Each structure stands twice: as C-alpha cells, then as structure tokens.
Amino acid sequence: MPDGAEGGAVLSARAAVSPEVMRAGGPWERRPYLPWLVALAGLSLLVNLLYGRYLFADSYYDLYAGRYILAHGIPHRNVVTVVNHGAPWLDQQWLAHVIYYAAWAAGGYQALSVLSALLVTAGFVVLGLLMRSRGVPPTRMFLWSAAVIIVYLGNIVIRAQSFAYPLFALTLWLVVADSRESRPRARTWLAVPVLVLWANTHGSVLVGAAMVALYALYRAAAALWRGRRRPARPGWTAAAGYLALGAAAAASVACTPYGTGVIAYYRQVNSVTPALSRYVTEWQRPSPLYLVSMGFFALLVAVVSAVVVAWRRGTRPDPLLAVLAVALLALALTAIRNQTWFGFAGSLLAADTLARSSAARPPALSRAFSRATAALLAAAALAAVALIAAEPDARFQSLVPVRAIDAAAALAASHPGARILGDEWSSPPLLWLQPSMFGRVAYDARLEQYSVAQLGDYATFLSARAPGWQRLMRGYDIVVVSTREHGRLATALTHVPGWHVAYDGHGGLVLERGAGLPG
C-alpha cells in the first residue's frame, strides 16, 4: 500500500482521469453520473422489493425483539425461549430491531419492506459514488455495481444485515480516500461514528472495524519507517494519529449497551460456527454448485479477468484495493453470508483498474439512452413501491404456516403450562404473532446463542433421519412444523406414539401430546 506524500503522489498519478482532462470537459465529464446513479438505485429497489419482501425467521426476530425492547428496555437475560431460559442475553443488534419495529408500527409490513430495500440500495449508491470518485465511467459504474446486486441475491431478506451495507460502503470509502493522504484527515475520523452505529445494528461490524484498524496500523508503521529514512520528517505525528484511529476503530465494537460484554457474544458465535455451517446454508462455504453462490463466483471470474486485461495494458491494480479485495475474498470463502463484502471491494478493484487502463476509451452511450434507462428503472421501482403498499399482510407472511401457528398458540393458551417445539419456519413467527408465547417456545432464530450439543439435537430432530431423532420432543407438549419445508419431518411426526394431530393444513402441522398436556 502507498503511504504518505510519496504514496499520495503515486496514487494521484495513477488516477483514472487527470484534473486537466476533467477541466477540459473530456469524454467522461460529458457523460453525467446522475442518470446512471438513478438507474442503479432503481434497479436495487426493484430487485429488493420484488424478491426481498417475504418475511423470514430473522425478519420476525427483528420485529419481536424490537417490540420487547421498546416495552421492557435492553434485554440482558433470555426470556424468549425454553432452551437457555435465563441465560445471559447479548443482542448488539438492538438498534436495528427497534428501527424495524418502529417502521412496522408506522406503516406495517409494507413500510418494513421498503425500509429494508432502501437501506440496501443506499449501500449500492454509496458504492457507485465511490467509483465515481475514482474516475470510473458511469456505465461501467452501473454494470459493476449491478454485478454486486447479483451477488447479494443470496442474502436478499429483511434482516438486520440490511443496515450493514451502507455502513460497509461508507467505511470502505473513508479508508480508500484516506490512502491518498499523508496523515488522517478529519473526514477519516468519520469512520468511528459509522462503526459505532454499525456495532449497534449488526455483528458484521467486526469486518469494518478490522478493516479500519489494520489499515491504520499499517499507515502508522509506514509513517514511522518513512521517518527513519528521513530524520527531518520523523512521522511521529502521523503515526500517533493512525494509532489513535486504529484504537478507536477497535473500541467501537464495544460501544453498545453491553460494553465489553459483546466480546463474549462474538466468542460464542465463533465457537458454534462449525456447527452452524453444518446446519444453516448461509454459514456454509460457497460452492459454484450452490445457486446462492453462482453470482459470487461469476463476479470473481469477472474481477480477475478485468485485472488481467488491465495488467496486460500496463496498468497495475491499486495496492490498497487489491489487498482489501483479497482479504475480503478470503473471508467470503469461509461462508456464503460474507460473499457481498467481497462483491463491494472486488467490483471496485475491477472498475478502478479497468478505468485507469483505458482512459481514452470509455463506453460511448448517448445521454438520451442513459436518461431513458434511468427513467425506466426508476419508474419500475416506483411501481414496485406502489405494489408493495397495496400488498396484503398475508403475502408478506406467505412463507410460514400462519394458520398452524395460530392453532398451536390457541392450544397452548388453553393449557398454560404447555411448551412448544417448533421448526425454524414456525418458532420465530409464533413469537411475533403470539407475544404470550414468550418463554414457552423451545428455539428461536438466534441459533448462535445455543451450544453445539443443543444445535445438534435440534438439527437431528428437524432431519427426522437419525435413530432417536424424536428425543427432543421430551419435555414439550405441542409441536408445530412447516409441511412445505419439512415434509419428511411432518410425515414422521404423525407416526410418533403418544402424539396425535391437532391441525393439518395450509402448509403446517400441529401435534399435541396424547394425554400429557398440563392443565
């Protein structure tokens, strides 16, 4: 990575378009970014609203957690589930829950869906503006950013992670912009409040905090090394500034109501990650054979190809962008949920390198075409917003067995001591739709809070394959599952001795213990 005045000069010399060209009204200057930014925003909104409006386990978790926090304050003990009831409860995503619940309270599922789509869209717009600051042509900015949207399709769901996309893009921008400076500027310190906000909305803040801290550590070391070579410019001031920035970035992770207690949460997540990767798709390593990873591997091939093409033209990739892309690629290869972070850095690397290798050959598209594309995608996005506003609540809840959930809750209400074992498509919506079920449901969406053994027992039950899979049913009086998602389990449940079917229909099955329901 370049550093200091020398590094800034090198990067400035490598900039995509020189100030002289821009002042002269070169070909890129004559192709305004606004239409393509509008097109990018329209495309992201359209995709999110069409494919991300359905509520999943994490969506219901955000809602019932936000409702609980507003009513009772920040939780510190588990009052939600039977498993681990009373155990320490660290929920650093509390602010995302509150905001999502407030959106629902203001405008129902419709407002919730639009908010999530706007958050994700903001991330892609920031990425587009970052590419613009690097001199990437408008059409290429649109295409490379759209490629990231394809990678994101594997995580397109209403969840707390939606808050992370604009915050990650802002952090990336601040780090990249600082690489041309000799010391941390005032704007670079904006990374700290961005990280603090991120720390209270999603756990992926670890990615941003590590990026800023490691970058700051490198810049501090480089400043000291430069000072050794030039005693007249010792570099202590710059080094001290970067060390302070790195320390603040690392400390930002603990700037939550839980303080340093969040370290225990992240340690717990790390300890159960191998188990989660066996049972949950998004925690598994990406594979070209997985539909949710095909876009990621396609982008990877495109990024490598772009860098190779530029290299053959005599243009080397920006060292900082290359390091960030490689580091985030390594992270992406550990879990599908991390693919999008590489998408942002990889597309920026490719767009930037190609732009600097072909400054005289930008895509030749007319203003009329760019404006027409922007108008078309913007109109489609607005139409999607209108359709979302008119959607009935049942459409948002269509992936879960709502009637079975209601039947299970009614059965439990008539037997106050009864406890419920549900699958991942039933338990979170049950906790949202039936608040009185708090403390009576076995598991919820926060799988990372359970031990490896508890996760194994749950996965064994859901698979209904291994001998003794039904052992988890001991201690529970009602079972509710989605027959659409767990057809094998539903069939097996109907043959368990001592249980009988209380409800079967509309994609859900409810069983009750034969004569064991507490009165």
CA atoms within 13 A on the CB side of 220: 15
CB atoms within 10 A of CB 232: 5
> Are the CB atoms for 249 and 216 separated by under 8 Å?
yes
> Are the CB atoms for 60 and 67 separated by under 8 Å?
no
Q: What is the pLDDT of residue 373?
A: 94
Q: What is the pLDDT of residue 234?
A: 55
Alpha carbon distance 514, 510 (integer Å): 12
Q: Give the bridge partners for 441, in sequence order.
A: 81, 420
> Are the CB atoms for 159 and 62 separated by under 8 Å?
yes
Q: What is the pLDDT of residue 2?
A: 39
Residue ranges of the chain with pLDDT lower than 70?
A: 1-31, 227-234, 359-364, 515-519
> Are the CB atoms for 340 and 148 separated by under 8 Å?
yes
Three-state secondary structure call for residue 481:
strand
Q: Give the bridge partners for 511, in sequence order.
A: 479, 501
H or E element in which residue 510 lies:
strand 508-513
Backbone torsion region of residue 431, taken as left when φ is above 0, otherwise alpha when ψ lies between -120 and 50, otherwise beta: alpha
b/e sequence 265-280, b meaning 16+ C-beta within 10 Å? bbebeeebeebbbebb
Q: For the chain, report the end-to-end CA distance as a whole number of angstroms.
A: 69
Q: What is the pLDDT of residue 360?
A: 47
Q: What is the pLDDT of residue 362?
A: 58
Q: Which residue has the tokens 């700290």?
A: 192
Sequence-distant contacts of 228-237: CB under 8 A, at least 24 apart? 235/4, 237/183
Residue type at 141? M
H or E element in which residue 228 lies:
helix 205-229
Q: Give the bridge partners for 501, in sequence order.
A: 511
Alpha carbon distance 32, 139 (integer Å): 10
> Are the CB atoms for 519 and 415 separated by under 8 Å?
yes
CA atoms within 13 A on the CB side of 454: 14
Residues in Cβ contact with 417 at an 8 Å cutoff, skipping those fewer than 6 apart: 477, 518, 519
Residue 175 CA from chain centroid, whole number: 20
Determine phi and psi for 510, rounding to 5 degrees: -125, 130
Q: Which residue has the tokens 């329209």?
A: 42
Three-state secondary structure call for residue 77:
strand
The structure tokens listed for 225 are: 């090394």
Q: What is the pLDDT of residue 361?
A: 60
The structure tokens listed for 60 are: 């219901």
> Are the CB atoms for 257 and 94 separated by under 8 Å?
yes
Q: What is the pLDDT of residue 359?
A: 56
b/e sequence 81-112, b meaning 16+ C-beta within 10 Å? bbbbeeeebbbbbbbbbbbbbbbbeeeebbbb
H or E element in which residue 216 lies:
helix 205-229
Of 177, 146, 148, nearest to 165 by C-alpha is 148
Calculated CA dihedral for residues 143, 145, 147, 151, nearest 10 degrees = -170
Alpha helices in 80-204 (DSSP H): 94-133, 138-152, 164-178, 191-199
Alpha carbon distance 443, 32 (integer Å): 52
